[in-house]
């Protein structure tokens, strides 16, 4: 993992490691960058409990004001962009079915395709292509 020497960008004010050279570039060159607050689940080794903690990877704006992403692949597209493009994030088949009725394409929370199950068929909706 490459070391970033941009101490002004990091709260610790010490060099930190980024996941890629691209992330180091973004940390130095982007006019605005910040720590990613995407919550990642992990198992606490002390008690075996599932917990969440922020990613804290460097984040930056996407071109054209579409949203933002971080060095670990977390991203978010702004609401107004999703409306304009006719799609939205969903977490399950039920949400996908409700959107499909209104001609809105469904995208999984991870940005990938959603495998639509029988809930969509029960509503009589078909997802927009």
62/83 same-domain check: no
Alpha-carbon distance 122 to 64, whole Å?
Answer: 38
Q: For residue 102, what are its two tokens?
A: 């209104």
Reply yes or no on whether the pLDDT at 124 is more than 80: no
Q: How many Cβ atoms are within 10 Å of 95's Cβ, its own excluded? A: 15
88/115 same-domain check: yes
23/56 same-domain check: yes
Tell me the pLDDT tens digit for each residue of 6-64.
Answer: 556 666 655 666 667 777 777 766 777 788 888 889 899 999 999 999 988 888 888 89
Decide if 129 is inside a domain: no
Tell me the pLDDT tens digit for each residue of 101-115.
Answer: 999 999 887 777 776
71/106 same-domain check: no
Alpha-carbon distance 112 to 91, whole Å?
Answer: 11
Long-range pairs of 98-103 with CB within 8 A, sequence gap ≥ 24: 98/123, 100/125, 100/126, 100/127, 100/128, 101/125, 103/128
Structural domain that includes position 32: 3-77
102/66 same-domain check: no
Decide if 32 is inside a domain: yes
Q: What is the pTM of this model?
A: 0.61
């Amino acid at each position: 993992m490459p070391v970033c020497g941009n101490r002004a960008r990091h709260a610790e004010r010490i060099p930190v490691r980024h996941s890629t050279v691209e992330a180091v570039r973004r940390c130095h060159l982007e006019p605005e960058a910040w720590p990613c607050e995407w919550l990642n689940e992990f198992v606490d080794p002390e008690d075996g409990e599932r917990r969440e903690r922020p990613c804290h990877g460097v984040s930056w704006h996407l071109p054209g004001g579409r949203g933002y992403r971080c060095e670990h692949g977390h991203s978010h597209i702004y609401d107004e962009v999703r409306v304009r493009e006719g799609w939205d994030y969903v977490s399950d088949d039920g949400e996908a079915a409700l959107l499909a009725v209104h001609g809105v394409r469904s995208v999984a929370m991870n940005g990938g395709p959603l495998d639509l199950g029988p809930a969509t068929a029960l509503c009589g909706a078909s997802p927009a292509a």
